[in-house]
Structure 1
Amino acid sequence: MADVFTQLWREIVERPEGPMAFRFYLQPLMAIVFAVRDGIKDAHAGNPPYFWALFTDPSHRLERLRSGWSAVGRIFLLAVVMDTVYQLVVLKGLRPLQGLFVAVLLALVPYVLLRGPVNRLARGLLHRHARPHE
């Protein structure tokens, strides 16, 4: 069993250095762009920080999850497809759990981690500009 986990982690760690390595930069960058866009929208709408609100505001949780998925769903699916192609070409087989893990890591994690802080930063900037200059 330990050998299976060792192989799994070795294959995951080798992905950024092999063919199609550009996706390890492009997909998180796309997720970051959408997180910044949505975080600024949240600030303008007066919404709470995204990740925090998923846990603290159950009445709007489903709405927020849909909003997040609509922003990064295509990036996530693209990450799954690209990792599947990588697996077929380089690993000569399919490893679906690895593909899902890589897609979550490249698309969902950057989005979820950045949308809330961008909201807070944008809200602070909006508040500063809303006050009259003294």
Structure 2
Amino acid sequence: MNELWIHFWTRVFEVMTDRVDGPFRFRLVLQPTIATVIAIRSGLKDARLGRPPYFWALMTDPVHRAEMAKDGWRSVGKVFILAMVLDIVFQLIVVHTVYPAGVVFVAFVLAIIPYLILRGTVTRIANRFMKLRSRHLH
């Protein structure tokens, strides 16, 4: 069993390093950039509406969790699907087979992680600027 895990993670590492300098490497910059733009827009909207930082609220507010998850998916879902499609094409061209777990993993890393990290961060920063601005206006 231990050897299976070692083989699995060795294969994941090999396939991941192939993605860095193979065809379609532009997506390694493009997809996180798009996820970042979407996260910034969503984070600023959250701040304007007085919502708490996204990831923290998603983890600590069970009452609104489903609604927040749907909102997040509406925002970043297309980037996630695009990341999956591009990785499938990449795997077919370079590896000549498709590893579904690898497709989901890469899409998660390129789209979901940047979105989750940045949406809440942008909300926190925007809230601080809004508080400073309101102090200066009064």
TM-score range, shorter chain: over 0.9
Partner Cα separation in structure 1 for residue 8 and residue 52 of structure 2: 42
Asked if 1:98 is matched to 2:136, the reply is no
The TM-score normalised by the length of structure 2 is: 0.93
Give the equivalent residue in structure 2 for 1:18. Answer: 22
Aligned residues: 134
SS of match in other structure, 1:58: coil
- Alignment pair present for 1:129 and 2:133: yes
Q: TM-score, normalization: structure 1?
A: 0.95
> For each residue in 1:1-32, what CA deviation from the matched residue of structure 2 results, as whole angstroms up to 9, or x when unmatched?
22343122111122021100000000000000
Single out whichever of 79-88 and 11-20 deviates more from structure 2.
11-20
Q: For residues 3 and 44 of structure 1, what CA distance do their matches in structure 2 show?
A: 48
Identity over aligned residues, as a percent? 44
Name the CA distance, whole Å, in 1 between partners of 2:9 and 2:52.
Answer: 39
Structure 2 letter corresponding to 1:76? F
- Residue 113 of structure 2 corresponds to 109
| Aligned residue identity for 2:135 | R
Give, in angstroms, the shift of residue 130 of structure 1: 1.5
After TM superposition, the structure 1 = structure 2 runs for residues 1-134 of structure 1, keeping only pairs within 5 Å, are 1=4, 2-133=6-137
1:23-65 Cα shifts (integer Å, max 9, x gaps) = 0000000000011101000001000000000111111111110
